[in-house]
Structure 1
Amino acid sequence: MLSYIIKRTLTAVLLSVAVASIVFLALFLVPGDPAEVLLSTGGVEPPAEAVRALRVELGLDQPVLWQYFSFLGDLLKGDLGQSFSNGEAVLSTILVRLPRTLELIFAATVVSLIVGIPSGMIAAMRQGETIDRVLSFAASIAMSLPIFVIGTAMVYVFAQKFRLVPAGGYVAFSQDPAQHLLLLLMPAIAISIGFSATIFRMSRATVAAVLTKDWVRTARSKGISERQVMIWHIVRNALGPVATVVGLQMGNLLGGSVLVEYVFNWPGLSGYLVTAIENRDYPGVRGTVLIVATLFILINLVVDMIYMILDPRVRS
Structure 2
Amino acid sequence: MTSYIIRRLLMLVPVLFGVSIFIFLMMRVVPGDVAQTILGTDATPQALEALRNQFGLNESYFKQYVNWVGGVLTGDFGESMRNGREVLPEIVNRFKLTFELTILAAIISWIISIPLGVLAAVKRNSATDLTIRTISLFGVSIPNFAFATVLLLILALYFNYSPPIGYVSFFADPLKNLEIMFLPSLVLGMTMAAAVMRMTRSSVLEVLRQDFVRTVRAKGAKERITIFNHALRNALIPILTIIGMQIGTLLGGAVIIEQIFSLPGLGQYVLTGITQRDLTVVQGSVLFISFVFVMINLIVDILYAYLDPRINYK
TM-score of the aligned structures, taking structure 1 as reference length: 0.93
Cα deviation, 1:7-33, whole Å, max 9, x if unaligned, reads 323223432222122212221111122
Cα deviation, 1:59-117, whole Å, max 9, x if unaligned, reads 11111111111112111111100110011101121122110111111100110011101
Give, in angstroms, the shift of residue 179 of structure 1.
1.5
Letter in 1 for 2:279: Y
2:193 to 187, 192, 196: 196
Letter in 1 for 2:218: S
Give, in angstroms, the shift of residue 195 of structure 1.
0.4
Give, in angstroms, the shift of residue 255 of structure 1.
4.1
Give, in angstroms, the shift of residue 232 of structure 1.
3.2
Letter in 1 for 2:134: F
Q: Where do residues 66-105 of structure 1 align in structure 2 (5 Å cutoff)?
A: 66-105=63-102
| Local SS of the residue matching 1:312 | coil
1:245 maps onto 2:242 in alignment: yes
Letter in 1 for 2:158: K
1:115 to 112, 115, 118: 112
1:64 maps onto 2:61 in alignment: yes
What is the aligned length?
313
Q: Distance in 2 between matches of 1:140 and 1:267?
A: 31
Q: Distance in 2 between matches of 1:130 and 1:168?
A: 42
Sequence identity, in percent?
A: 38
Letter in 2 for 1:49: Q
Q: Distance in 2 between matches of 1:130 and 1:296?
A: 39
1:138 maps onto 2:135 in alignment: yes
Q: Distance in 1 between matches of 2:167 and 2:158?
A: 21
Cα deviation, 1:153-203, whole Å, max 9, x if unaligned, reads 111222452145625432232332212101111000111111000010000
1:272 to 269, 275, 278: 269
Aligned to 2:182: 185
C-alpha spacing 1:49/1:37, structure 2 compared with 1 (3 Å): same
Higher mean C-alpha displacement, 121-130 vs 270-279: 270-279
1:214 maps onto 2:211 in alignment: yes
1:3 maps onto 2:38 in alignment: no
Q: Distance in 1 between matches of 2:156 and 2:261?
A: 11
Aligned to 1:30: 30
Runs of 5+ unmatched residues, structure 2: none
Q: Distance in 1 between matches of 2:14 and 2:115?
A: 37
Aligned to 1:12: 12
8 Å contact 1:251–1:295 — kept in the other structure? Answer: yes
Letter in 1 for 2:308: D
Q: Distance in 1 between matches of 2:165 and 2:123?
A: 39
Q: Distance in 2 between matches of 1:222 and 1:180?
A: 50
Cα deviation, 1:225-253, whole Å, max 9, x if unaligned, reads 33332233211111111111001011222
Letter in 2 for 1:313: R
1:235 to 232, 241, 244: 232
Higher mean C-alpha displacement, 19-28 vs 212-221: 19-28
Q: Distance in 2 between matches of 1:197 and 1:16?
A: 31
1:162 maps onto 2:159 in alignment: yes
Over the residues paired in the alignment, what is the CA RMSD in angstroms? 1.7
